[in-house]
Structures are given as structure tokens and as C-alpha cells.
Amino acid sequence: MTLGAGAAAEPVALERWGSFHVGGREVVISGQPVREMAFNPGSVPVRIDPNGTYLMGSMYAQYMIPANPRGQAPLLMWHGGGLTGVTWETTPDGREGWQHFFLRRGWPVYVSDAVERGRSGWSMIPEQTGGQHVLLTQDNPWERFRIGDGAGSFARGTTNPGVQFPTDPESYRNFVRQVVPRFTTTDALTLDAYLALLDRVGPSVVMVHSQSGQFGWRAAQERPDKVRALVLVEPAATGDPAKVAALRDIPMLVVYGDYIATDARWPTIRANGLRFAEAVRAAGGTVDVVDLPERGIRGNSHMVMMDRNGDQVAAMIQDWLTAKGLWR
């Protein structure tokens, strides 16, 4: 099987390509009103009884296994908050994403949609978990993801100087089209699903972004034998401070982009990440922290993998993984 990747790229030979769902648990809902509704205009009404047993918390994963793998473990790619696995697949302006970058270098790649996102199962929220969903406006990521400065907006088109995110209106709207509702009350379900993924796939390199930083660290703490290395791209939260010793044998790389010092939130988020990394080091672990501007890689937004220089960052990560003996 080959996967076409555009006129300028060589085809990728795959041994296998498929998908599956993992995780989930049965939950009983009761006390909800029964109602009738028509599923289609003019159709016969159907009696809907929402009471009963539901399977909630399952997660979708897609895998691509190269014919001649060179990565010494599968590479699991976990996306951030309000997004799906599309984060890794294709950039908003149509370039190949990091899924392709690492697949082309011989990594077996697994891209997943976290619980309640994309192709994963849905649940009876708020009945099962409480809380209300959060959905971003069109302007929100422009400032929040450091594409524009704090006073900027998509409508005005003001950006951080030299930003590498594709800011033309159509590309940016392509990014906003990927945004999905997220909940702040489903973290336990999400972590359980990621643990189920690790249990199914086996020892892996885990690459996380933003919200999934906490899931990467915490999954490694719960399954240290299943995580060969952990790559954290702008993690927005940390692991469990009481379990840092569980991470001491797992090599970790933490990557931060540009414009952090002038942002309202990210100096604190980064400081929290560095503090947690230092705690891991104090417990005997290895954490390498890279601030991209200090490496001469400038203009990166929070969505590093979508930036125009994203492949330069991916190549740096590839070099790090090679140095750790995880690629041949």
C-alpha cells in the first residue's frame, strides 16, 4: 500500500493502516424524562427513553505502520484542548503535518481523538460528569495561542511580529473549523482512555501538546514501563507532584515556542512546567527543556506543529529521539 503525499513527495509504503476504539466504562442513567421525537421531517415519532446503561469514555485511534519501520517504538500523538487528532495530520494551509513527518522517517504513528472529541464516543453530559462545554470564538485562538498579541484580533489582522503560523484568512479559518467543544470535567475519563491505549499498543514514545501535557506526564507515572520517551510540546499542565519518582527512567523533552514573555498567561504556565521538570530531575530523572528562540528558531505560536517552520522543530525532536537510541 502506498500513501500519496503530493507531487514533490515520494509515496510512503505502509504495512498496515487502520483504526480502533479503546477504553470506556458502563454507567447507568436514571430519573430522566421520556419523550417522543421525529428523527426526520414527516417521519413517525420515536419514543426516546434516555434511562439505561451507557458506554462512556471510549477513545478513537488511527494507526499507520510503515513497511520498513525505523522507530524503535510506536509514536503516539496526543492533541490539546478543544482540538482533535487533526492537529497532527495536516496544517491549516495544506502542508503535511507531523504525522507525515515522522511516518516518513519510519515511525509507526498513532493519532487519537481524546474522549468527547472528534471520532471518539460521546457521553450524557452534564448528567454523567457535570459541567458545561467550552467552545472558542473565532478571535479567541488568535490571542490565546500567541498568533496575535494581547491587543490583537483576527478581525483586525494584527499579529505577533514574525509569527510563523499561517495567518491568511482562509488558513486561519481552516484552523478554527477544527475547534470542537471541550469539557473541564472529563479529565479522569480521558486519562483512563490514554492508559487503555498504552496497554493495547505497548511500550511507546508519547508526544503531547498543550492540555495533553498533563495526560502524558500522568500516563507515564501510571505506566512507566509503557512509555519509552515523552515529548511535551508546550505542556499546559503538569503531572502528579507526589509521583515524580515514577518518571526517573523516562527521557523527556519539553519544547516551548516564542512570544511567551509578553503573554498574559504563558510565563506562569511555563514556570509551572519548569518547576515540575526540576522536581523530576531532583528525583533522578532526565528532562531536556528547549526554548526555541534560544536555538535560533523564532516565530513559533502555541500551535508549533502547524507553524510554517514546524518541520524544523520536528527535525530537532527527531534528532533528540535518535540521540536517545529510539531511531535507527
| Full DSSP string of 192-214 | HHHHHHHHHH-SEEEEEETTHHH
Query: Nearest CA to 206 among 317, 89, 60?
Result: 317
Q: Considering only CA atoms, which of 193, 25, 198 is closest in space to residue 115? A: 193
Q: What is the pLDDT of residue 5?
A: 42
* Type of residue at 151: A
pLDDT of 2 reads 45
Query: Mean pLDDT for the chain?
Result: 93
219 within 8 A of 194, measured Cβ to Cβ: yes
**SS3 of 143, please?**
helix
Q: What is the DSSP string of 234-265?
A: S-SS---GGGGGGGTTS-EEEEE-SS-TTSSS
pLDDT value at 180 more than 60: yes
Domains of the chain: 12-26+53-129+186-323 (3.40.50.1820)
The alpha carbon of residue 199 and the mean position of all alpha carbons in its chain are separated, in whole angstroms, by: 19
Predicted confidence at residue 301, as pLDDT, reads 98
pLDDT of residue 6: 43
% of the chain exceeding 70 in pLDDT: 96
CA nearest neighbour of 274 among 296, 289, 291, 258:
289
Residue with cell 510563523: 164
Report the DSSP beta bridge partners of residue 17: 64
Q: What pLDDT, on a 0 to 100 scale, did the predictor assign at position 150?
A: 67
More confident call, 185 vs 279: 279
Cα distance between residue 120 and residue 109, in whole Å: 18
pLDDT tens track for 6-49 = 445 789 999 999 999 999 999 888 898 999 999 899 889 999 99
pLDDT at 149: 77
Return the sign of the alpha-carbon dihedral for residues 30, 32, 34, 40: negative
Q: Among the listed ranges 26-35, 158-167, 290-299, which one has the minimum average pLDDT value?
A: 26-35
Interval 214-261: pLDDT, tens = 999 999 999 999 999 999 999 999 999 999 999 999 999 999 999 999
309-327 per-position pLDDT tens digit: 999 999 999 999 999 999 9
